[in-house]
Amino acid sequence: MSIDYAGFRRELESFVRGACPPEIRAVVAAGQKITKREYQAWQQILNAQGWGAPSWPREAGGTGWDIRQRLIFEEVMAENDCPPLYHHGLGHIGPVIIRFGTPEQKARFLPRILDGSDWWCQGYSEPGSGSDLASLSTSARLDGDAWVVNGQKIWTSHAHEASMIYMLVRTSKEAKKQEGISLLLVPMDTPGITVRPIQTIDGWHHLNEVFFDEVRVRADNLVGEVGKGWTCAKFLLERERLPPANVARLELMRRQVTQLVEEASRAAAGLRDFSGLHHKLLLCEADVKGARVMMAQATDDLIHQRPLGVQPSVIKMTCADVAQRLTTIALDAVGPDAAHRFLAEAGDDVPDATWIQNYMFTRARTIAGGTSEVQRNVVANELLGA
């Protein structure tokens, strides 16, 4: 049966314009940080509509939409200033549980992801294991009916407010390093877990260190086979590097920065030349359109089960680069007011202050999820045989 994609888009637009609370849309439109409460409120609204998990199959409680419908969904969400779906549960560990989990794990964890009850974080990176993730040393030993976890994770986003963590642990030291890794699902309130904040230059608290000291985790919280967690990790990484939301949100940022530059230009009343910024915006617009074309091509390849090749790496690098350029343009437009971020946090009305936080935050876009240097190596190896 053919799908009426234009009608599907109209249905989405009609719903979100009336269903997404105005106060939440205002936060998104202003480029401000979306809180856990706002994420959960929007998730509950979408879930009640039956749209809580666009990338999940129907039998798991999802929509069963194809990849083109999911791309349209992300575009409509961004175009109408709606929050993105919280990725760690819906986009990352949820699909892993669907693919590799037991029926009992699916019944226990998936409904709580769908309704926003559980807030997940990812325990991958360690102080000595970043790009070489397979060298991780956080250990788990089987003791009766529980795994006992010891070690440390770092750069763990949202660990301070998460109820669950999915983490890679070493369950065997004798095997090859990739083969001795397993995937565990751990409640964050388990005794022995300590979370310490990492202060970042953007002024937002989103990163943490997480320590595990003799943490006992029920044995049936291990996903897949013992020692096969690397397979789960690769499955997740493939999804992480090609999320339709990244391109859709990039277009939202471009519109926000364009509006900011236009407002600043009018306020300057000819006292400052903004032609240079307008030119830079046009270059960014061209790159955003290029990213959308690449995403459309990748979408078509997925539909027809063709290999994606280097497309995920190129799209990720493009999105990271353009986001950094856009926030730099925003700072140029705002001028000295951008430095008042801490005044804004204290409650003063400095609406442009959030842009310096966005500027600082986007510096990490070329690192998180695989550095741009690593992505260039991936492209070179694939295309040049280097």
**Residue 208, C-beta contacts closer than 8 angstroms, at least 6 positions apart:** 156, 157, 158, 159, 160, 195, 196, 197, 198
Q: What span, in angstroms and rounded, lies between the C-alpha atoms of 248 and 252?
A: 7
Which two structure tokens, joined as six digits, stand for 95? 């699909």
Q: What span, in angstroms and rounded, lies between the C-alpha atoms of 237 and 235?
A: 6
Q: Which of 166, 51, 192 is nearest to 115 (CA)?
A: 51
Which two structure tokens, joined as six digits, stand for 296? 């459309």
**Residue 347, C-beta contacts closer than 8 angstroms, at least 6 positions apart:** none
Q: Which of 260, 159, 139 is nearest to 208 (CA)?
A: 159
- At how many degrees (to 10) do helices 67-79 and 244-268 cross? 20
- Looking up tokens 């789960």, which residue turns up? 232
In three-state secondary structure terms, 266 is: helix
In three-state secondary structure terms, 260 is: helix
Instruction: Point out which residues pair with 161 in neighbouring strands.
Output: none
Q: Which of 331, 315, 330 is nearest to 365 (CA)?
A: 315
Which two structure tokens, joined as six digits, stand for 385? 């045989």
| From 75, 126, 240, 251, the catalytic residue | 240
User: Using an 8 Å Cβ cutoff, are 340 and 353 in contact?
Assistant: yes
352-385 in b/e burial notation, b at 16+ Cβ within 10 A? bbbbbbbbbbbebbbeebbeeeebeebbeeeeee
Is residue 174 part of the annotated active site? The answer reads no
The residues annotated as belonging to the active site are 240
